[in-house]
Amino acid sequence: MTRKQKRLALIGSALGVFGVAIGLILHQLSGNIVFFYGPTDMVQKHIGPGVRLRIGGLVEKGSLVERAGKSVTFKVTDGKDAVPVAYTGLLPDLFREGQGVVAEGALDKQGVFRADSILAKHDERYMPREVVEALKKQGKWVGPNDQLADQARAQ
């Protein structure tokens, strides 16, 4: 084996080891990565049941139903599409209809998103970045600066 062939074999081996390492890292991370989707993204991408993800949008007005115990159902909407959500547990104090929410969980076979955690906005001005981006895609976002501009136009 010539010196050049030895060098190529060494580089090829190093690339192979590097590729295997990257593959193992990605395989281990695949169980921990949770993607964010808006309701329209979920409908368009036809996400299957059991895939763990986060959804965000606004709690659709008139959709909040409290069940026995601590169970609630509601819909998360971005103004175009809505996803039904079922959750059992304590809701954040600021959770209510018309407010921004991020839910983490998975779809079941009936197409209901089974959330195991709910995040709600914590003051009048805060909105999760993912929710803002999803609402902007749908043209439904009215930010604090937009509200001030609307008030100025009304005067």
Binding residues: 122, 126
Report CA-CA distances (Å) from 27 to 38, 53, 112. 26, 17, 28
Token digits for 119? 């995040």
**Helix or strand holding residue 88 (H, E):** strand 82-88
* Binding-site residue set for heme: 122, 126
Which conformational region is residue 45 in: left (phi greater than 0), alpha (psi within -120 to 50 degrees), or beta? alpha
Distance CA 134, CA 56 (A): 8
- Residue 133 sits at φ, ψ, to 5 deg, of -65, -40
Q: Which amino acid is at 122?
A: H
Query: Is 83 within 8 Å of 113 (Cβ atoms)?
Result: yes
